[in-house]
Amino acid sequence: MNIKKIVSSILVLSVCAGYSVYGEEQDDISVFIDGYQLAFDVPPQIVNDRTVVPMRAIFESLGATVDWNADTRTVYSVKGSDTISLRVDDPAMVVNNSTIALDTAPCIIDDRTLVPVRAISEAFGMNVSWDGEIRSVLINSNSLLADGAGQSGPIWTKTKNDTTVTANTYIKRQSGAVINEKRKNMYSTDYIEVPGGSSLKLTLQNVTAAINRGLAYYDENRSYISGFAFKAVKESTTYSLKVPGNARYMRFTFFGDFNLVLEKLAEPEIINDPAVPADPAPNTNTSTKAGSDGLSFVLPNKLYGVAGHPINIYLDNILKNGNYDQMYRMWISGDSGCIVDGEYEYTPKEALTRTPTIYCYKSGESLTLSKALPYKVYQPYNGAAVTKKILMLGDSTTQNAAACRSTLTKLFSENTTAKIEFVGTKQDDNKYAHEGRGGWTAKEYNTAASHGSNTNPFYNASLSTDSKFDFAYYITNHPSNVPDIVTVNLGINDVTAKTEVSDIISYIDSIVSSIKSYDSSITVIVATPNLPSSLSGEWTSLNLRKTKLQELISAVMSKYQGREGEKIYMAPLYIGINTKWDMPYTEKKVNSRSDKTVYAAADGTHPAKAGYEKMGDQYYNLINAILCGE
């Protein structure tokens, strides 16, 4: 034991006479208010089984005034309509003219007056608990609807040892129900009041497991509204939450150790200002701040959805010449979706047409960009039973898309009266047919008879045109592969080969034209490429693949949007794939001598299983809309 600790213990014994003091070392006690650890010039002490802390630091941290009368050695504090007074060595406290007995009287240590933290915090309406495992006093303001809830700042914290947290249970985020199946190391919080439509920041601290985290929202009757899972992360991370407008409560569920800190963010004035102008016209950027850095949105003119199925937007993907983490704030108004770690998710419950607006604040409260993003939601197709043959043509992203095809097949078979059948000359690991070829470019599909070990079944050497892509030739040789729908997903390898975007579009359009020349009734879906992993260096260097791919994405959208009358559609696959957690990643040491680990991209180009499944979600939303008459 060091000398400082010995002296501290002697001082406690001598000044706080008549009260028992633990003989253990005292300066390892922490105090948290709504998740924020307080700093003290004299460490907290345990006196008579009660924690005492320096008076000025604790009162001011609670938002109270504090005055000291040296003659009477009395502390006076005011917070709102509440008043408190305490006197050194007097085991009584006066709260609003009522006297309350104390287990431990205020005392003086190192010329600082220490007061019992639980007593004064509870007198000001706070919740107080003791976490013995981390030797911490946890003070919570309990409700976002209490005084000051309209202000920004920390308002709530929980650990697994909190009295309002139930062990060995979990909350089913699809229904909001609490499942009591004695799940070891699973924890569920009680209902937490939240203002509907507010924006919150959730910080996870001291996390030891990267699985089974989620939350659910409930209305004023505590009926379930919606829920979602957090992405797999370790240690500490922060999420931005948009509370549904009709929500009144939320609950969290977690596995393992955790410390939750919930904060209410100040609302940007434009969000709740009734004088906000009408939503900008689709496919245009409205800027209230001239930006010399070229920051802009990359967005389609419409999204499709299916009732009961999520719509996802990863906000990094829609920002050109900027990243989500660099923005002061991004906000999507107009529905009950929420943003978690930069990913927006909204699950409509019914068929509808809606036009939310995306707002971006690069710095401070000054609006930088805003743009409308209409979406149209259909019920799952319930018409005459049909089977649709789909031919998926592309590069390695298509070749490796077994999870995409499996997801698409399952969604249609379980939710609609339509069935999906895939056709092609190749097969993936799930035995679904396709026409995906790793490493191929749109140019090679037009000009090469083969590449590596793959031959080009669309190549017709007898054509006199520069493009040898011949869909009729392909069907002649493979008559059982006549499709109802063809998806074309090319361009990543062309960008890598530094082909001009205008040339890439020309090659893609030769493919589309050949299909339509064979049979104009075939539906053609031109898909945008996905973006590279944001955990790789390619993401942060804005002059590399992200920017070039976004230029191609914009060109694809410009070329193929609004052509539904020709049975040509555009699928914005890039928009929903989370380039951080829907891409393969690994945990690695920052260097050979450090124990610190970080997440790094394991594959900077191809989605992980979750990413491919979300690709299937995008195709499902669009193809269902087509079947419903879009």
What's the whole-model pTM score? 0.59
pLDDT band, very low/low/confident/very high, at 456 (cuts 50, 70, 90)? very high
Residue type, 571: A
The one-character DSSP state at 504 is: H
Q: What is the DSSP letter of 596?
A: -
CATH of region 3-131: 3.30.457.10
The Cα 561–Cα 528 span in angstroms is 11
Alpha carbon distance 186, 255 (integer Å):
4
145 versus 465: the higher-pLDDT residue is 465
Q: Where exactly are the structural domains of the chain?
A: 3-131, 141-264, 269-377, 382-627
Which of 225, 300, 317 is closest to 530 using CA atoms?
A: 317
Q: Give the pLDDT of residue 612.
A: 94
Which pLDDT belongs to residue 129?
Answer: 75
Q: What mean pLDDT is predicted for residues 449-467? A: 93
Counting Cβ atoms within 10 Å, is residue 386 exposed (0-12), middle (13-18) or buried (19+)?
middle
- Going through 322-367 in order, the beta strands assigned E by DSSP cover 329-333, 338-340, 343-346, 352-354, 357-361
pLDDT at 158: 59
Q: Is 564 helix (H, G, I), strand (E, B) or coil?
A: helix
Among 505, 469, 473, which residue's Cα sits nearest to residue 490? 505
What pLDDT, on a 0 to 100 scale, did the predictor assign at position 21?
Answer: 43
| Residue length of the chain | 630
Could you read off the pLDDT of 377-400 as tens digits, one per residue?
A: 999 999 999 999 999 999 999 999
**Vertex 364: Cα angle to 358 and 365 (nearest 5):** 55
> How far is residue 564's CA from residue 562's CA, in Å, rounded to a whole number?
6
- Taking domain 269-377, whether its CATH number is 1.10.600 is answered by no
Please tell me the distance from the alpha carbon of residue 475 to that of residue 394, in angstroms, as a whole number.
Answer: 17
Each residue's pLDDT tens digit, 50-59: 889 998 888 8
Q: Is 382-627 a CATH 3.40.50.1110 domain?
A: yes
Write the burial class of residue 63 (CB in 10 Å: 0-12 exposed, 13-18 middle, 19+ buried): middle
Instruction: Specify the pLDDT at position 552.
Output: 95
Q: How far is CA 39 from CA 8, 31, 56, 207, 360, in A?
A: 17, 8, 11, 22, 35
Check pLDDT > 90 for residue 204. Answer: no
Mean pLDDT computed over 402-415: 95
| DSSP state letter for 251 | E
Q: Residue 212 corresponds to which amino acid?
A: N
Which of 376, 318, 374 has the alpha carbon at shortest distance from 348? Answer: 376
Tokens of 576: 């929903």
For residues 403 and 364, the answer to whether their CB atoms sit within 8 Å is no
Instruction: Look at residue 369 and tell me whether its pLDDT is greater than 60.
Output: yes
Which pair of tokens denotes residue 211? 């699985």
pLDDT in tens, 528-583: 999 988 876 544 444 467 888 999 999 999 999 999 999 999 999 999 999 888 98
How far is the C-alpha of 505 from the C-alpha of 526, rounded, in Å?
Answer: 11
For residues 307-324, average pLDDT? 89
Q: What is the pLDDT of residues 260-304, one digit of tens each?
A: 777 765 543 322 222 223 333 333 333 333 344 678 899 999 999
Model pLDDT for residues 178-190, shown as the tens digit of each residue: 777 666 677 788 7
Residues contacting residue 83 through CB under 8 Å, at least 6 positions apart: 76, 77, 94, 95, 96
Best CA proximity match to 213, nearest among 225, 230, 236:
230
Q: How high does pLDDT run on average in the chain? A: 79
Closest C-alpha to 436, from 459, 408, 411, 456? 456
Looking at residue 270, its pLDDT comes to 29
pLDDT higher than threshold 80 for residue 627: yes
* CATH number for region 141-264: 2.60.120.1300
In eight-state DSSP terms, residue 469 is B
Give 350-361 pLDDT, tens digit per residue: 898 888 888 887
What pLDDT sits at residue 8? 36
What one-letter code names the amino acid at 519?
A: D
* Per-residue exposure over 98-131, b if at least 16 CB sit within 10 Å of its own CB, e if not: eeeebebbbbebeeebbbbbbbbbebbebbbbbb
pLDDT digits (tens, 9 = 90+) for 499-537: 999 999 999 999 999 999 999 999 999 999 999 888 765
Rounded CA Rg of the chain = 30
The C-alpha atoms of residue 338 and residue 196 are separated, in whole angstroms, by 12
For residues 550 and 564, what is the distance between their CA atoms, to the nearest angstrom?
Answer: 23
The Cα–Cα gap between 46 and 27 comes to: 10
Could you give the CA distance from residue 249 to residue 129 in angstroms, rounded to a whole number?
22
Output 23 or 427, whichever has higher pLDDT.
Answer: 427
Name the E strands within 307-453.
311-314, 319-320, 329-333, 338-340, 343-346, 352-354, 357-361, 369-372, 375-378, 386-394, 418-423, 426-427, 433-436, 450-451
Write out pLDDT tens, residues 111-170: 888 999 999 988 887 778 777 767 788 776 544 433 333 344 444 565 656 666 777 777
Do strands 136-140 and 30-33 pair parallel, antiparallel, or not at all (unpaired)?
parallel
Query: How many CB atoms neighbour CB 366 within 10 A?
Result: 13
Average pLDDT over every residue of 606-625? 94
Question: Helix axis angle, 402-415 relative to 609-627, nearest 10°?
Answer: 40
Are 204 and 237 in contact, with CB atoms under 8 Å apart?
yes
SS3 assignment, position 74: strand
- Residue partners of 209: CB distance under 8 A and separation at least 6: 185, 234, 255, 256, 257
Q: Which residues make Cβ contacts (< 8 Å) with residue 621, sequence separation at least 6?
A: 303, 304, 305, 306, 309, 311
Find the mean pLDDT for residues 404-426. Answer: 95
Q: Are 171 and 216 in contact (CB under 8 A)?
A: yes
Residues 371-375 have a mean pLDDT of: 87
Tell me what the mean pLDDT of segment 485-497 comes to.
95
Which amino acid is present at 320?
A: K
Per-position b or e across 287-302, b if 16+ CB within 10 A of its CB: beeeeeeebbbbbbbb
CA angle 388, 391, 393 (to 5 degrees): 155
221-260 pLDDT per residue, tens: 788 877 766 654 555 666 667 777 677 788 888 776 667 7
